Amino acid sequence: MGRRVMHGRPRLASRKGVVVAGAVALLALGITYAVTQRGSPVRHASDPSSTASNLVARPSTTWGGVYPGNAGPVGVTAFERYIGQPVAYVTLFIDSSDWKFVDHVQGYGLSAFARKPYGIVLSVPLLVADSDNTLEQGAAGDLNFHFRHLAQGLVAMGMGNVIIRLGWELAGNWTLWWAEPAPAAYAEYWRQVVTTMRSVPGADFSFDWNGGTGEQNWDPSEAYPGDSYVNYISMDVYDESTDYTANNPPVAATQRWWQDSVLDGPYALDWTAGFAAAHHKPMAIPEWGLMDLPDGQGGGDDTTFLKDMYQFITTHDVAYADYFNGDDSDLTDGNLPEAAALYPVLFGAERARGAFTGPGPPPQLA
């Protein structure tokens, strides 16, 4: 099979730098507080206990979340209306273009998300574009003051208990903090940041180690900072593959690709679940979504992918799983009609009312 390309394009500027300077928000993406089933074991495919007979699907009200695009809290409310129930988490991003967004977090709209009834997973950059700082400088403690300012700002806004997704997608060479060339420096820098942020009075942060984005050739555990510095172990998942071509369209290729690459591929979902279980941490999926890409490598309006994600999330101890409702993954802009109709059935109010108990998709939708 062709290599899986989850996040195969540099997207920091377009997809991830969702911080609007000025009065509008500087974040984007939805997950939240570190309160859900911390420390519970994660079951994964290699675990003999992970069978359809003994896994019970959990209601999405306990873990379901969203990234709301640039719309801020209004976007969260609109997504809740679409699925017919509240979200549990919201994933957001701090702009990675300049240190000012980290140092002066109070000035860029994040306060609009303070004291909401959902948790926040805040994606925080380790390096920024408008700087020549390095992972090695961070490992030496030279950049700690930025994160002290960040922690102080969050506490002042009443957001001292958010989940910090620090240096996300660390295995991706499209990130400014790509860990593969210097995994030891990445891990030490992480420890420096966590220690610094925890030391701020009023801080009660949790930390999400976002190690992988699917099948890849490098073991992200080389950059793992240690159990004392991590609360969640996570992976991002998108319906995007080089296997998808005009002669091998997504509907025909998805199931084989899902099993070989997304589930069982090197350092993919099963690996992440197993690594989390081995370290006694809950697993999370801070970003996941369909991909409606003009180059044909996105699954597009692919309901099979939604069913596969439903199967995995509801039969594993996933603390939070936030749908990326923006850019090429948007379910509410009319471009993915079949998936848009199915998503609320699997993950929204109908499922929460107990109509479907899993594991797996409802039989009538198979």
Q: Write out the DSSP string of 269-291.
A: HHHHHHHHHHTT--EEEEEEE--
Quote the pTM value. 0.82
pLDDT of residue 32: 29
- Nearest in space to 101 (alpha carbons), one of 74, 58, 131: 131
- Please tell me the least confidently modeled range out of 54-68, 100-114, 175-189, 332-346: 54-68
pLDDT digits (tens, 9 = 90+) for 217-259: 889 999 999 999 999 999 999 988 766 665 566 656 666 677 7
Distances (CA, A) of 73 to 121, 202, 205, 244: 14, 25, 21, 35
pLDDT of residue 227: 97
Inter-residue contact 110 to 156 (CB < 8 Å): no
Residue 363 CA to residue 366 CA, distance in Å, equals: 5
Residue 117 CA to residue 140 CA, distance in Å, equals: 38
CA torsion through residues 366, 212, 44, 208, sign: negative
Contacts of 138 (CB under 8 A, 6+ apart): 126, 127, 185, 188, 189, 192, 193
User: Which SS3 state, helix, strand or coil, does residue 237 take?
Assistant: strand
- Please tell me the least confidently modeled range out of 47-51, 207-211, 215-219, 339-343: 47-51
pLDDT digits (tens, 9 = 90+) for 265-312: 788 899 999 999 999 999 999 999 998 887 777 888 889 889 989 999
pLDDT of residue 361: 40
* Residue percentage of the chain with pLDDT more than 70: 75
Q: How confident is residue 215, by pLDDT bands cut at 50, 70 and 90?
A: low
- Helix residue ranges per DSSP H, the chain: 73-83, 100-103, 135-139, 144-156, 183-198, 250-257, 269-278, 303-314, 337-347, 349-352
Is 50 exceeded by the pLDDT of residue 36?
A: no
Is 70 exceeded by the pLDDT of residue 359?
A: no
Is 70 exceeded by the pLDDT of residue 341?
A: yes
* Residue percentage of the chain with pLDDT more than 90: 60
pLDDT digits (tens, 9 = 90+) for 134-184: 999 999 999 999 999 999 999 999 999 999 999 999 999 999 999 999 999
pLDDT of residue 352: 47
DSSP letters for 185-234 = HHHHHHHHHHHHHHTSTT---EEEEEEESSS-SS-GGGG---GGG-SEEE
Q: What is the mean pLDDT of residues 19-40?
A: 29
Q: What is the mean pLDDT of residues 101-120?
A: 94
User: Which SS3 state, helix, strand or coil, does residue 36 take?
Assistant: coil
pLDDT of residue 43: 28
